[in-house]
Amino acid sequence: MSNSLPRARKAQRPAEPAATADALDVQIIEALQNDPLVTNKKMARQFGVAEPTIGSRLRGMAERGVMRVTVQRDLTALGYPVFAFLDVYSDGRPPGEIAADLTAIEELSSVVTSLGGPEIMVNVFAKTHSDLQRVIEGPVSSVRGIRRVDLHVCLETLKQRSGFGTLSHSIPEAKLPLDSDDVDERIITLLAQDGRRSNRDIARQISLSEGAIRQRLKRLIEGKIITRGVICDPFLLGQHSAAFARIWVDPPHIPPLKKALCESSACFFAAKSTGRFNFITLFVADNLQSVEAALTEVTGRSRGILEIDVKVVVRRVKHRYDLVNIV
């Protein structure tokens, strides 16, 4: 087995432009969020439609990149406990071109363009701080057009809504560290392809008992090595606006801000970080006014906020939705 970084292969893009989900699609998604293995028959009976309709809707949403049931892997369990954010400033070269070049760097799990400076915001993972420095000083700095890179190291991930991702970007291939169990890897590979596979189906394909599969999955999930569930594209569910909010709060007031962030439905990600700001967060909502309202509601619940810096996401260029920090 290889101890290299987890790789991804390109997803097949639909021939037609993706359409947003309708009411029945949303009902199906909610049912799968409650139980990824709920049967088509049960959903058909619950929603008052024919069973083939459920199957057709599931296939259609998968083809359009609206949602799919899969597994996500924890970066720390994979051997990459160092997670950081990079603010990338251009020297005049178009940010879209710089961002496109950055997507080739394996250690970058997310690349987005934003309004103003920094023009590009990046998530990077590494095995050690030395490896992080190597990525920044090597592959990142070698990209033409980069004037400056500011680093914010994640100290603690407080919240990550693992059920959302840009499905059109990549479909993961299962990769685990060198010391991982080969049977575990085969199980994860099958679930990455189709998270609705039953234990019986997995057992048949790898010649183990259904009970053995159940025990292994229990260990993988409870050990926060993987999480299985529905991944949805926020944009195709009507969540059209996203913004990073970096917050500097006086340390005595950190606990109430943490609580407010974790309770906000619009906050998709929150982490404590080094650098000028001690919190980096991502808010997603149907429009920028809703993002502003959600952020105002959160910050209004905490005193001691000294500065807030908001960067609106223009375009998601790369998103490894298969890699998360399981909280």
172 near 6, Cβ under 8 Å?
yes
Q: Give the pLDDT confidence score for residue 117 in this predicted structure.
A: 83
Report the candidate in 74, 119, 110 with the shortest Cα–Cα distance to residue 226.
74
Q: Tell me how far CA of residue 206 lies from CA of 73, 80, 193, 242, in angstroms.
A: 21, 28, 15, 42
**Cβ contacts of 35 within 8 Å, gap of 6 or more:** none
Report the candidate in 166, 169, 189, 233 with the shortest Cα–Cα distance to residue 11.
169
Residue 179 clears pLDDT 80, i.e. is over it: no
Report the candidate in 235, 247, 257 with the shortest Cα–Cα distance to residue 313.
235
Residue 128 clears pLDDT 80, i.e. is over it: yes
If you average pLDDT over every residue of the chain, what do you get?
89
- Region 269-273: mean pLDDT is 96
Architecture of domain 23-64: Orthogonal Bundle (1.10)
DSSP annotation of 102 reads: H
113 near 90, Cβ under 8 Å?
no
Give the separation between CA 66 and CA 25, rounded to whole angstroms.
9
Strand, helix or coil at 74? strand
pLDDT tens-digit series, residues 90-109 = 999 999 999 999 999 999 99
**CA-based Rg of the chain, rounded to a whole angstrom?**
20
226 near 215, Cβ under 8 Å?
no
Q: Tell me how far CA of residue 189 lies from CA of 6, 132, 206, in angstroms.
A: 12, 28, 11
Cα torsion through 291, 296, 299, 300, rounded to 10: -150
pLDDT tens-digit series, residues 183-239 = 998 999 999 889 999 999 999 999 999 999 999 999 999 999 999 999 999 888 888
Percent of the chain with pLDDT over 90: 76
Q: Tell me how far CA of residue 312 lies from CA of 113, 166, 253, in angstroms.
A: 9, 17, 26
Residue 53 clears pLDDT 80, i.e. is over it: yes
Q: Give the pLDDT confidence score for residue 177 in this predicted structure.
A: 60
Confidence of residue 1 (pLDDT cuts 50, 70, 90): very low
Amino acid at 86: L
Q: Give the pLDDT confidence score for residue 10 in this predicted structure.
A: 43
Cα torsion through 246, 248, 253, 254, rounded to 10: 50
